[in-house]
Structure 1
């Protein structure tokens, strides 16, 4: 399982950082909790299957956690930013899923996966040379961040820099290093970073600055970055946020492809929602499904945070829908 220190449970770390908690039942410790209040319909029983799909968040419950390069402002220049933005231009969520599959399922190193992607997508074409010099790209302590860091290495090398990728750890470690210029570049996630800086600048539990609107979220993020000496490039179409998954067999049986359809067709006693225990309290998880979509489930199964327990619960038919991340390699179809 990938180390995911950046995501407390919301599509973003913003959930914890901004204190967006909604009381909705007690945390479970293990197994499946009893019937949930308000679940009165028949619901949709789990359907086992190997292929997982993410239900479309058609009412935009989750915030815009697009991949975005963060750069120490003293190191930023037009050529460096343009090179990093080339990655953003090329990268959407299906491609990010395949990159994660290459590393997590096919057992390629992040470096190899990134180099194959760069070659297949002609990533370095047209990149202008910058002033050169040493660049350290910091990566978080999970494979997706390391792969993104390798993509940044490739484009910055093409721009004439001497680049190394260094795994730093979690955001609490690498964000101060980025401010100080100990590292110059890091792959980030727009809404998560916006709320991290929001808390850093404004204290505990400030009003959220991120939203499902990527332009508004990035505008807020850049304003925060100006205050701490971090410049942000262009956001990619690729996002890594909360996703509610079902098996393809479940989707076919009940005719659901969106969260609105899940709520309309599957609210009721037979429906089992799976995820980490805190999903029952967090605004972007079970309470969000209830408030935004009107989904009522029969029971909640306390599992893990987008990890093997939740995916196994879906595939073996013990949960109807489960929380995993939108860029997870489990969504790969090739």
Structure 2
């Protein structure tokens, strides 16, 4: 798996997650609750089932925070060029998680360039503008240092070019690097993630121990994010339905055998499962702790892997379920 936006822990959320382990909400995960009661106490343990195809189990109780893709735009640029946000919102309207998985598969698995994938996406989705509202204005779309962000940035730039903007893209790196450039106007827009950006800006504005503002509810998360962004000189566009966040996958063969499609289904069907995840998973509220407390899932064994090796461990039948990213191209 290539380097991606999120893993179990981000530097901006360390203090929040430390509190989360004691029962408070955490970045990347919803509220830690009292242990749920599930039928897993009487059901038989479910052995791993090997298979080539992975399938995400729906997080039906909102364990994870809503990291929906949305545009973040420099407010001065948005004021000077009103069509900027409107054009980028049109991209949000065409994005959902399966579409994001497909885009990532094209780049990460099929080895196509982000630029080519973006051009094809804009054409197929009919996103090219019908007027020249940009008037030749120069804009720079920033990208973080992973392929999904680069592809989204290229899509943004392609749509803006179609509207008469002189749009270029620039890969800068981490949020700690590109966000100051966006705030200062060196960058015009960046594809962002609702919960992660809200958590970061909340920490910047209110300190590392600030009460969490992100949740599994995307509308509430964006409502909390918007004023934080405004204070930083940023305008937030419409959140898409596409999410890149922590999720849990099993093989399709396992899901078919046990007739499970949600994490609640899994907890009811299985009296024990083998969980694969990074080494810190057993101590994190949105990994093993969250599965046990929110869903009542019994973890009979935990196996530690580097993040990029988890999917293969599930496919080989070394683990029943594993932590993955919901937009991972290998899920396509």
Q: Structure 1 length as normaliser, TM-score?
A: 0.89
Structure 1 residues 65 and 3, CA, compared in 2 at 3 Å: closer, same or farther? same
C-alpha deviation, 1:213, in angstroms: 1.0
* Cα offset, 1:149, TM superposition: 0.2
Look up the match of 2:320: 320
Distance 1:116 1:290 in 2: 43
Which residue of structure 2 lines up, in the alignment, with residue 169 of structure 1? 173
Mapping of residues 243-262 of structure 1, within 5 Å: 243-262=247-266
Do the aligned partners of 2:13 and 2:200 also contact (CA within 8 Å) in 1? no
Question: Residue 263 in 1 paired to residue 295 in 2?
Answer: no
- Change over 3 Å in CA distance of 1:211–1:61 after alignment to 2: same
| Counterpart position of 1:27 | none
Once the two structures are TM-superposed, the CA of residue 314 in structure 1 deviates from its matched residue by 0.7
Question: Closer, same or farther in 2 for the Cα pair 1:49/1:260, shift >3 Å?
Answer: same
Q: Does 1:291 align with 2:293?
A: yes
The C-alpha deviation readout for 1:187-245, integer Å capped at 9, x for no partner, is: 00000000000111111121110111111111111110111101111111111111100
Q: Any idea what SS the aligned residue of 2:150 has?
A: helix
Root-mean-square deviation (Å):
1.9
Deviation at 1:296, TM superposition (A): 1.0
Structure-1 residue corresponding to 2:100: 96
The answer to whether the 8 A contact 2:130-2:163 is kept is no
Shift of 1:267: 2.9
Aligned counterparts of 1:322 and 1:91: Cα–Cα separation in 2: 25
Equivalence for 1:138: 142
Q: Pick from 38, 41, 49: which aligns with 1:47? A: 49
**Secondary structure of the corresponding residue to residue 76 of structure 2:** coil
Work out the CA distance in 2 between the residues paired with 1:253 and 1:22. 34
8 Å Cα contact 1:275-1:310 kept in structure 2: yes
> 1:154, CA displacement in angstroms?
0.8
Contact 1:21 1:283 in 2 (8 A): yes
| Aligned position for 1:7 | 6
Deviation at 1:41?
Answer: 5.7
Question: Using the alignment, how far apart are the partners of 1:161 and 1:201 within structure 2?
Answer: 33
Q: In the aligned structure 2, how far is the partner of 1:13 from the partner of 1:56?
A: 27
**Inter-partner Cα distance in structure 2 for 1:17 and 1:185:** 29
Corresponding residue for 2:21? 22
Aligned ranges for residues 1-334 of structure 1 at < 5 Å?
A: 1-4=1-4, 6-9=5-8, 15-16=13-14, 18-19=16-17, 20-22=19-21, 42-76=44-78, 77-126=81-130, 129-268=133-272, 271-305=273-307, 307=308, 309-332=309-332
- Structure 2 residue runs of 5 or longer lacking an equivalent are 24-39
Q: List gaps (5 residues or longer) in structure 1.
A: 25-37
**Deviation of residue 264 (structure 1)?**
1.1
Q: Specify whether residues 133 and 258 from structure 1 end up closer, same or farther in structure 2 by C-alpha distance, changes over 3 A only.
A: same
Spell out, residue by residue over 1:295-315, the C-alpha distance to the aligned partner (whole angstroms, 9 max, x if none). Answer: 11101010123x2x1011011
